[in-house]
Amino acid sequence: FVGQFGAGTLVDLIEGSLFENHINPWVNQITAKLIPWHSIQTLIAFDYGIITLGLRYAVAIILPIVATFFLAFSLLEDSGYLPRLALLVDRLFKKIGLNGRAVIPITLGFGCDTMATMVSRTLETKRERVIATLLLALAIPCSAQLGVILALLSANPASLGIWVGFVIMIFLLVGYLAAQLMPGEKPAFYMELPPLRLPKLSNILEKTLSRMQWYFLEIIPFFILASVLIWIGKITGLFDAIINAAAPLMYALGLPPEAAEIFLFGFFRRDYGAAGLYDLQNSLTGVQLVVAAVTLTLFVPCVAQFAIMIKERGWKTGLAIGCFVFAFAFICGIILNLLLTVLGVTL
């Protein structure tokens, strides 16, 4: 539903038909006529403009995906299934230093990792909170990132299977190692199960609209800020310098140098990077797309999530998690690229 309808049908309609064919050309034309200064023109329109890039990503790519995800999540929530899910995963989560209660922040992470990091404060021990924060930062894609990647890979089941399997393996491996290396108590888990019920349409719509409003109001300023920072980076040459400096890393991943843009975008917001990958898909092979999707999924948390990590876990722990995730994501991407190349996999 999220991958096919949200990231496929709705995004194609809004981004392809509306923005690419009508809004962006009109904005480019009006901006060029009314504003004589090229640097100001590029701030508003053209490749990295506030409207043509920032608002297009937010409204045309991210919003439809987030809306369909929140609709599906609200359906599960209103049915009373989530507490049962907590009991189902309790035994598995104990292997990675958590318990069934952690299913709430982990599941919320598939909506927004920033919000999920805040919710992780409900876990009983510091050990659990640190492990949950690490796993959220590393291996849990937010709704927009998840939806875009599902849309990109769902046409090829093998590509989707490699991405899902690799990310789950990393989630479990890092969680298990963290549980073994981090000392601390392991609290018991008890939960009262509410009865299953038929979801009410009014409840589902109310929750979905409320979350959409919150998320949309939150991402618009970040997308505008990201566009402005990218514009500053472009006119000062800093943006191109970072892209050029990252070229050897992109080659190690088997990706073209321009792929560095999506990781730079992803630092501002994960969904911004995912939208950049959506734009770049036609210039990548199947193997490159899988490697890029895996590395981007494991890549550093966005600015907002990183700030919440510092606030909730302290600057030492937050910075340590950020540095580990940054290095580990690229190591995993390089290993995956080597494995697929050596095995002669074509996608």
Least confident of 65-79, 122-136, 159-173, 183-197: 183-197
User: Residues 14-41: pLDDT tens digits?
Assistant: 888 888 888 999 999 999 999 988 889 9
> What was the pLDDT predicted at 7?
64
Question: Which tokens belong to 69?
Answer: 């995800």
Domain membership flag for residue 201: no
Mean pLDDT of the chain: 86
Our count of domains for the chain comes to 1
Cβ proximity of 61 and 11 under 8 Å = yes
Least confident of 102-106, 171-175, 295-299: 102-106
Residues in the chain: 347
Domain membership flag for residue 207: no
Question: Which tokens belong to 86?
Answer: 């907590």
- What is the percentage of the chain residues whose pLDDT exceeds 90? 33
Domain that holds residue 319: 2-185+217-342
The mean per-residue pLDDT over the stretch 53-74 comes to 80
pLDDT band at 249 (very low <50, low <70, confident <90, very high): very high
> What was the pLDDT predicted at 180?
92
Domain membership flag for residue 168: yes
Question: Which tokens belong to 19?
Answer: 């923005």
Taking the C-alpha atoms of 307, 77, 274 and 346 in order, what is their torsion angle to the nearest 10 degrees?
A: 130
The mean per-residue pLDDT over the stretch 39-64 comes to 83
Question: Which tokens belong to 188?
Answer: 């018991």
pLDDT band at 170 (very low <50, low <70, confident <90, very high): very high
User: Residues 120-134: pLDDT tens digits?
Assistant: 888 888 999 999 999
User: Residues 86-106: pLDDT tens digits?
Assistant: 888 888 999 999 988 898 889
The mean per-residue pLDDT over the stretch 170-188 comes to 88
pTM of the model: 0.75
Domain membership flag for residue 156: yes
pLDDT band at 2 (very low <50, low <70, confident <90, very high): low
Domain membership flag for residue 307: yes
Give how far the C-alpha of residue 127 lies from the chain's centroid of Cα atoms, to the nearest Å: 24
Distance separating alpha carbons of residues 252 and 107, to the nearest angstrom: 33
Domain membership flag for residue 203: no
The mean per-residue pLDDT over the stretch 158-171 comes to 96
User: Residues 198-245: pLDDT tens digits?
Assistant: 888 898 999 888 888 877 777 678 778 878 887 888 888 888 888 889
Domain membership flag for residue 142: yes
Distance separating alpha carbons of residues 334 and 295, to the nearest angstrom: 9
The CA–CA distances, whole Å, from 339 to 1, 219, 228 equal: 31, 36, 39
Question: Which tokens belong to 217?
Answer: 């109001």
Residue 114 has pLDDT above 80, yes or no: no
> What was the pLDDT predicted at 151?
80
The mean per-residue pLDDT over the stretch 150-165 comes to 90
Domain membership flag for residue 323: yes
Burial class for 34, CB neighbours closer than 10 Å (0-12, 13-18, 19+)? exposed
